[in-house]
Chains A and B, each alone.
Chain A
Amino acid sequence: MKKGRILHLEDDPQWVENVQKLLGSSHDLYAAASPKEAASLFMEMANENLKFDLAIIDISLILHDAHDKKGFEFIEALEESGVMEGHKIIVLTGYPEVDQNWRKAFRDFDVVDVFDKGTLIDNKAEFIKEVSEAIKN
């Protein structure tokens, strides 16, 4: 299995840990708590002539704020700049239903999938499979 480089944009350290535990050491995870940190990681990667294979992005980057959309703003910036062109994005959110976030993710950003944090444990096999397939392709 190909070991992928994954950017994980997530403000909640508990969820950074959860995803790390789920994916184990099968991939290299680079966690960023804000879009600025994530942009810096892109720069660091580029300086070493490397790119991310996949980005796992949380929509709300303010703890307990269901209506924050900074994750989407970051995906928009990725798309506008073109740095993730040809690469995959998975959305992992605690609020998939709020403002039809799931529709926006699929429609506007061609994401591989949208996972609900509330049910991720039940869907962990699917999550791991989607991550592996996104990296493989």
Chain B
Amino acid sequence: MATKKLLFIDPHKDWLKLVKSTLKPPEYDAMISPTLDFLLKIDANEHFDLVFIGLQLAKQNIKTISGLALSYTWRFVVLFPGFPDQKTARIMFKSGIRDISSKPYDAESIKKMVEEEIAYVKKKNHIRNREIDFNTRLNRLSEIIYTPSPARSHKQ
């Protein structure tokens, strides 16, 4: 399995240390930074599978993050301290953030959150990378809609 390159940006240094000690090679290459400056200085060819940013920093730099999200394929995830509220999350999503999540505070939850995001990206890429013509797509839509759910689950 390829090493997943991750970047965590959050002002809480102890939390970043926990992230670094939790997500280790060869499975993960986790970089950490307490400020956004790090992200702005990164070489344009640099690739990250996932970039996690704490809510406060994301809010303060939403225009910058929005620009980066539109320019790069990096998947930005904003971490809310607690339960995400719809109003703030909507602003984030409309600025190009790909997901939001409650900030995890222990090693197990950090790992779980990262694994879920990676699994999600894999699933989405699988759907997006198909090349099929429009008629085949229409037939597929019809097949999905008209096939009862249990049979669909069986087929998948």
Task: State the Cβ distance, A91 to closest chain B Cβ, in Å.
Answer: 11
A39 in contact with B127 (CB, 8 Å): no
- Nearest residue (CB) in A for B138 is A46
A31–B93 Cα distance when bound, in Å, is 28
- A113: Cβ under 8 A from any B Cβ: yes
Beta-carbon nearest neighbor of B132 in chain A: A82
Report which of B86, B98, B141 forms a contact with A42, defined as CB distance below 8 A: B141
Contact between chains at B134 and A46 (CB < 8 Å): yes
Chain B interface secondary structure, helix, strand, loop or mixed?
Answer: helix
Q: Which of B9-17, B20-28, B32-40, B142-150 contacts A (4 or more CB under 8 A)?
A: B142-150
**B138 & A43 in contact (Cβ 8 Å cutoff):** yes
Would you list which residues of chain A between 24 and 72 have a CB under 8 Å from chain B? 35-36, 38-39, 42-43, 46
Chain A residues with CB under 8 A of B135: 46
Q: How far is the CA of A74 from the CA of B144 in the complex (A)?
A: 9
Known: A82-B132, A96-B86. A39 touches B145 (CB 8 A): yes
CA A78 to CA B141, docked complex, whole Å: 6
A83–B141 CB distance below 8 A: yes
Please tell me the number of chain A residues within 8 Å of chain B, measured between CB atoms: 25
- Given contacts A80-B127, A82-B130, A102-B89, A107 and B142 within 8 Å (CB-CB): no
Q: Which of A39, A96, A100 contacts B142 (CB 8 A)?
A: A39
With contact pairs A46-B134, A46-B138, A82-B137 given, residues A77 and B144 touching in the complex (Cβ less than 8 Å): yes
Within 8 A of A (CB), among B53-105: 84, 86, 89-90, 93-94, 98-100
Task: Known pairs A83-B134, A102-B90; list 11 more (Cβ under 8 Å).
Answer: A35-B145, A43-B138, A43-B142, A74-B145, A77-B145, A82-B127, A82-B130, A96-B86, A102-B89, A107-B93, A113-B94
11 A-B pairs whose Cβ atoms sit less than 8 Å apart in the complex: A81-B137, A81-B140, A81-B144, A82-B132, A85-B137, A102-B86, A102-B90, A103-B89, A103-B100, A106-B89, A113-B90
The interface of chain A, by Cβ under 8 A from chain B, is 35-36, 38-39, 42-43, 46, 74, 77-83, 85, 96-97, 100, 102-103, 106-107, 113-114
